[in-house]
Chains A and B, each alone.
Chain A
Amino acid sequence: MSAAKQYALVPGAFVPVPTLRPSRAAAVDDVPALTTGFPAGRMFRSELRLMFGRRRNQAALAVLAAVPIVIAVAVRWSGPRGGGEGPAFLSLVNGNGLFVALAALTVALPLFLPLAISTTAADAIAGEASLGTLRYLLTVPVSRTRLLLTKFAAVITYTFVGVLVIAVAGVAIGLLLFGAGPAALLSGTPVGFGEAVLRLGMVCVYLTLCLVALAAVGLFVSTLTEQPIGATIAVVATAITSQVLGAVPQLEVIHPFLLTNYWTDFGELLRDPISYGALVPGLVSALIWTAVSASAAWARFGSKDVTS
């Protein structure tokens, strides 16, 4: 049947039925050869733009930055209360601005940091699934492993930035309100400003590694559902449950297996000399939680039917 006849068959048509013709040549000419030799990292940068461009994530970072500011202002204008009340390091704030950062990290660790990280981690796959953009990413195509790795890398970045925001805001407001007086470590050894900043940096790295384990749990939960809010709640609940169980002395036998058990060990970095051995259990725990959760996420997502 010729094209003309087909056209005639369709009297109402205003679009001519195109001639069916062998088109290999045209197609091959038009479509450039596939190359994967382009510089890597475009997707990761796009992911970071997406993550840090979201108002919600910016607001979370702003809240984290507010924590040390609130603490510093409160301490500056009300003066330190006596006794062992309040979070660790709070009594030391008045002596040295750097302790504002440490006090703020301690305050943010149980809830604010896990909340911010859970939101972004849980959003990784579930967020794209709920928008429907997941199916378009996969048909671009982006391999599922690459998508998961990029998302995880972005969440790890966000985690580090979150911790760093508290530390930097803490140092800034601390220096502003209290100055850089002589810093004494928990063991009583005085250290210089440079050494103190270095110790604070090490605390940030340790906490990031601990929180990455939570992010990995979030990534896994994110592959289970198409509801980012539900996934966020599940991850925050995991962190809180872990802390509650960790506070019950009768459950001591399970404490080493809890996600949050070693998070507060960062105090070891403020002794002189640093007992690195005391940090090992926390790092091993974080590594195991990360490896198991990330593997589970990969296994789950790799075989998942995307029906959103």
Chain B
Amino acid sequence: MTAPAVERPHRRSPDADAHAVTTVGLTKQFRGGQVAVDHVDLAVPTGAVYGFLGPNGSGKTTTIRMLLGLTRPTAGTHRLLGGRMPEDAATLLPRVGALVEGPAFHPHLSGLDNLRRLDAVDRTADPTTSRARIGAALDRVGLTPAGRKKYRVYSLGMRQRLGLAAALLRPRELFVLDEPTNGLDPQGTREVRTLIAELAAAGTTVMLSTHLLAEVEQVCTHVGVMNSGRLVAQAPLAELRAGTATRVEVETDRPVDAIATMQRLELPDVVVQGRRVGAALGELPSDRVVAALVYDGVPVQGFRVVVPDLESVFVGLTGEGFDVSG
């Protein structure tokens, strides 16, 4: 198993213009001594949709909290949109829309009033455009009809939408979205993915923390994988996929002969399991393997090419399964 980013870590000093988020040696050690985030070097390219992946408890949320200045790193530095954090938080964070660990609002206020409050506390928000911006944000997440209802009665999906509306209260250059589709129905999930695609198409950088691989496959251009507090891989999505070899698998009565053929073809990583023989394909076209098997008189009862799916890539990186139900 190869882990591309481990072999080629982003050690080069990242250009501020080219990266919306960079961290160098970002570390968080809790008072108990537990290291939640361990020397993480993130590099989120400007304009990317960056899938921030990892099993539960791998340090994703702690990293995001540090990025936004909510918690203090015990070591390391980070920059957002080219500026230093947390020193320049006052000028940087208004350009960042964030959804951290699910939505949180005042239950006794309506969705509209909650947004009004968030806009009112923003010193850099123009009060004269407040009403229009709030209306547009509610509209964009499809919450206008429920805007005057109390947050208390919102379903989880509506709450999630309101959280997104808060992030959309003003134009942003970077979105940091922690599990934005959590609790949404399939329709809502699709809408959020479309929204993310729209934001990205407008040039906004999106950093998307998720454990749903479908989400990553559909919207992300770049991926960073966390495991046990470490960043175990970071690469463009296509590159990460390429790191895992396509395999062939043949089903036959005479597996020993099949093994011999595959070895003659110099296919690496030959394995046998009962009647099935598999091997990595390498550079060879798959039809050549079938031809060789037939030429050698191996009865081919079944043959398939196994393209690596993202899940196996991540299981290889993290040693843990993901929830792929989404």
Contact = CB atoms under 8 A, between A and B. Distances in A.
A83 interface: no
A78 interface: no
Given A136-B166, A141-B90, A22 B46 contact: yes
Contacts of B193: 15
A40 B1 CA distance: 58
Contact of B217 (A10, A18, A30): A10
A135 B93 contact: no
B24 interface: no
A42 B49 contact: no
B121 A21 contact: no
A21 B47 contact: yes
B12 interface: no
B122 A140 contact: yes
B254 interface: no
A19 B200 CA distance: 8
B315 interface: no
B312 to A, nearest CB: 15
Contact of B197 (A6, A15, A49, A137): A15
Interface in A4-41: 5-6, 9-10, 12-24, 26-27, 30-32, 34-36, 38-40
B140 interface: no
B100 interface: yes
Contacts of B190: 14
Contacts of A143: 89-90
Contacts of B26: none
A135 B200 contact: no
A60 B237 CA distance: 57
Interface string A263-280: 000000000000000000
Interface in B166-199: 166, 171-173, 190, 193-194, 196-197
Contacts, number: 160
Given A6-B237, A36-B124, A54 B108 contact: yes
A14 B71 CA distance: 37
Contact of A23 (B46, B101, B220): B46
Given A6-B237, A38-B125, A42-B127, A30 B71 contact: no
Which secondary structure characterizes the binding site on chain A?
loop
Nearest to B125: A38
Interface stretch (B2-10, B112-120, B274-282, B287-295): B112-120
A292 interface: no
A42 B96 CA distance: 21
Contact of A26 (B166, B203, B236): B203
A141 B93 contact: yes
A139 interface: yes
Contact of A24 (B46, B95, B121, B125): B46
A133 interface: yes
B221 A34 contact: no
Contacts of A34: 91, 94-95, 124
Contacts of B71: 305-307
B47 A23 contact: yes
Contact of B95 (A5, A16, A31): A31
A253 interface: no
A53 interface: yes
A42 B219 contact: no
Interface string A286-308: 00000000000000000101110
Contacts of B200: 18
Contact of B173 (A9, A27, A303): A27
Given A15-B219, A32-B171, A46-B121, 18 more contacts: A15-B197, A15-B218, A17-B197, A21-B47, A24-B17, A30-B171, A46-B120, A50-B106, A53-B108, A132-B102, A135-B100, A135-B101, A139-B68, A139-B69, A140-B93, A140-B118, A140-B121, A307-B65
8 contacts: A26-B202, A132-B102, A135-B70, A136-B118, A137-B121, A141-B93, A142-B122, A305-B71
